[in-house]
Structure 1
Amino acid sequence: MVFTHDTELALQAAVELANSTDEPGEPLGSVRDLVAFYDRFGYTGRLDRDDAELRAVRGLRPRLRELLVADRDTAVGLVNTMLAEAQALPQLQRHDAFDWHLHAISADRPLADRMLVETAMAMVDVIRSDEMGRLGTCAADDCDDVVLDLSRNRSRRFCSTTCGNREAVAAYRARQRGEATG
């Protein structure tokens, strides 16, 4: 594990959210999808289960993307702004299957606020451990989705196996064309 469990979960959720669209079948295609997203990433606290909440969470995408692909110094400014706007006050919490970890915003605040603060707190760990290289954009020519590399050898280059496979097939075909003309 590169980071603590709660940091990894918050980063994975932020990347999935930043890469999502409003299309049906996407992680945030409907309120039902939002509830499943909430459960899958272990969020706790208030969940309104309505269209306004879904719109607010979807509205986080540009800010999260900006943060996740920023250089270290820019990320510091973004994190500080996010935490200040939310009047975040880090506190140790223990709940469900999770041992002591940090929460920095009240459980009764809107989900979008809590998601933004949890992402900012996760980024504090990334910045402090000088691990910004674990975040970037997909290496596929036709994709600019965010990539989170939690591998031991820092080898993840693509946002999904789909992008990785598509690039491998394209490289194979290019090699075949080169051999056929050579």
Structure 2
Amino acid sequence: MKLRMGVEVVIATPGRLLDVLENRYLLLNQCTYVILDEADRMLDMGFEPDVQKVLEYMPATNLKPDTEEFDNEEALMKGFATREKYRQTVMFTATMSSAIERLARQYLRRPAVVHIGSVGKPTERVEQMVYMIPEDRKRKKLVEVLESQFQPPIIIFVNQKKGADMLAKGLVKLGFHPTVLHGGKGQDAREYALQALKAVPA
């Protein structure tokens, strides 16, 4: 209903957005600003074809010409206050894989790349230690590290929601006080988890 009434911003997953485009609930004729957030995760999850199809629904006429003339600020700003302005596409990604670079080359015109920190290495304030151990020894090693090397607050990243919940239960039994934060939690629970982490004295 909101799409039919007209909206200024649409936030969507690639598959759902493609669905409403194919069913003509939404037109992108006037869209001139595109943000691809977590582009690396979308490609890892197999959404590259959907992303490409969505971008194909954008009018080709608002793509900036790939010529040196349009590196000129005056040329770029010429139609900015009108509907004839060029599309701006922004990609946020934690990693720049070959698939991401391919997507960038296909849909971006002379892109500006902004790196946060140094490419390919951690910031100077980060110390990395890698332990190569079998799967069945991971939990024991984690507890050793938690007990001997670091002071709270500590953040542990896992690859599945279920794994986060199971790890938290195990740590509670060992006397730790963890809080869990993932997409399966409600907004109240997530806010509580963030506040609990912030409240731990450094």
Fold shared, TM-score > 0.5 on shorter chain: no
Larger radius of gyration: 2
Q: TM-score range by the shorter chain?
A: under 0.3
Structure number with the higher helix fraction is 1
Normalised TM-score (structure 1): 0.25
Pick 1 or 2: higher relative contact order, CA cutoff 8 A, min separation 6: 1
| TM-score when normalising by structure 2 | 0.24
Give the number of the structure whose residues are more often strand, by fraction. 1
